[in-house]
Amino acid sequence: MIHNIALVGGGNISETHARAAVETRETRLVAVWGDNQRKAASLAARHGATCHETLDECLAHRPLDVVLIGSPSGLHTEHAGAAARRGLHVLVEKPLDISTARIDALIADCERAGVKLGVFYQDRTAPDIQWLRNVVTSGALGRMIVVAARVRWFRTREYYSESRWRGTWALDGGGALMNQGSHTVDLLLWLLGEPTRVFASTCTAFHDIEVEDTAVACIEFASGALATIEVTTAAYPGFPRRIELTGSEGTVILEGDRIVSADLRGSAVELPAGAGGSDASPGERAVSATVSDVRGHRAILEDFLHAIETGGRPLCDGAEARRSVALIESIYHSARNGEAIVLDSGQSLVLDVDRDRTKT
């Protein structure tokens, strides 16, 4: 079955989406639209697609059945919803949008139209991370005790100043946490389950932007695990993302997308191939917004197309992607009000804010 694909957006991530599409079997990139017509036209020309002048024209292109959304985060629901209402399946760059209210509206649009909704949380496809999730869910690490996640990346001042949307509340929805930290928040939820309480602090330490460039949060989970997450785009020269997980039966350390250390007490779990090594370089996402390795995006796209063909559920659908945005909203709320936030099972804010900071 040939899937005809359109791109919405013309920036760096749309180039990644384009490469993932053309490298996926049984797909054809047919249409492109972006608010920046120069960039969109260049993208379309590189990949043999038609560049349209308006979003409506792009979505009316036929044949067409899948749209990849790579526009600014605060426009995701607007653009994906327009595609869904035309009966087109939509696969959206992370975060799904910048608020749970908008996400709920998009999920409803997709359900009414009977189309699939998926999100590019490609870290879920990395072999070492899938191995790690199996170790956690199988109980090989025992009862989860403490987790430390660090995203100490660097972005130049030009990264923000030369963009109309990065570092703004209206279109980025936040700063380092909502944008760069979104993947790691998703992984914490994927690995640890439901959060129950959060306390956080944020600041703008280096960049001239209206949102945070640094955030630190402590998160309690229903399992009893405690996690900390640090995210910044001000850590020169930039370092690989690192997650350290300790359970009652051992500790595993993830650096970038690779397991660099795994010590399990008395476990016969086989380590992933190449475990124990570490890249000498800081990693592309630590210092650059450009994704040179599209294997993860391609894997998400292939999974999404399989879900369309079989009627199954994508690896990360709308409901799953909503969870990370809900937790980020709660972190921002805590930081803004200086209070610990209690979460319900749906990860919505509970009106009774826990004011007893001695527990944090």
Delimit the domains of the chain by residue range.
Answer: 3-115, 124-287+324-342
Residue, of 170 and 349, whose pLDDT is higher: 170
CATH code of 3-115, in short, is 3.40.50.720
What mean pLDDT value characterizes the chain?
92
Q: Do domains 3-115 and 124-287+324-342 have the same CATH topology?
A: no
Q: Decide if pLDDT at 359 tops 80.
A: no
Q: What is 124-287+324-342's CATH number? A: 3.30.360.10
Q: How far is Cα 351 from Cα 347, in angstroms, rounded to an integer?
A: 12
Between 279 and 50, the more confident residue is 50
Please tell me the predicted confidence (pLDDT) of residue 269: 76
286 pLDDT band, cuts 50/70/90, is confident
The yes-or-no verdict on residue 112 having pLDDT over 50 is yes
pLDDT score for 344: 79
- Does the pLDDT at position 348 exceed 90? no
